[in-house]
Copies of this chain bind each other. A is one copy, B any other.
């Protein structure tokens, strides 16, 4: 049996949760003003009003700190039921695009992904706190579409997982590439065209082009 405060209280002075939120907010602020390369932990500590040593007690380095700071941006992602697969896709892609349009996301996200190429632990951290949550939306959206009869039910669960991974890479990759590489906004027109390609494919799309501006 355990007394009143079993495990969560470890004895000793507890870590200031205020400092945590202040540090993550300061990190995002520094990302906006300085960008990834000129962001220093000393500067973040000053902005947050904490000592530099406090930062190093909680995060191993710049990479981990920025992952946590950026991950909070994706907390607002959700998948409201808009009645059809096309509408669901457009809705969630627009949300995703809105987050990626923010400068702190642009500056930080790709940088940590680039770092994760040589750091397996970092990649796993990104997967857990950012990527997997997005992938769940794909799975849920497909389940809804199957319930509506818009997509046939999956027989092989392994094949279903592969398809979900594929869709996820296509959707997330396209929005990221549009936003960061092409450096043009993923606005309503673009998202609508993208959704048509995804749903109907290139050949089917050919005859159904619509004038820009209509919703």
Contact = CB atoms under 8 A, between A and B. Distances in A.
Contacts of A180: 113-114, 116-117
Interface in A189-207: 190, 193-194, 197-207
Given A172-B181, A177-B176, A181-B131, A37 B197 contact: no
Nearest to A131: B181
Interface string A80-110: 0000010000000000000000010011011
Copies of the polypeptide in the assembly: 2
B199 A35 contact: no
A178 interface: yes
Most chain-B CB neighbours within 10 Å: which of A114, A170, A176, A201?
A114
Nearest to A62: B37
A55 interface: no
- A interface bracket (residues with beta carbon within 8 Å of B): 35 or more
Contacts of A113: 110, 114, 180-181
B35 A118 contact: yes
B178 A169 contact: yes
A123 B162 contact: no
Given A176-B173, A183-B123, A197 B200 contact: no
A76 interface: no
A168 B85 CA distance: 24
A150 interface: yes
Nearest to A89: B202
Given A123-B183, A176-B177, A209-B159, A170 B150 contact: no
Given A116-B180, A159-B209, A170-B177, 6 more contacts: A107-B118, A111-B114, A169-B182, A172-B173, A173-B176, A176-B177
14 contacts: A107-B117, A116-B180, A131-B181, A152-B207, A167-B202, A170-B194, A172-B173, A172-B177, A172-B181, A176-B176, A176-B177, A199-B203, A200-B204, A201-B205
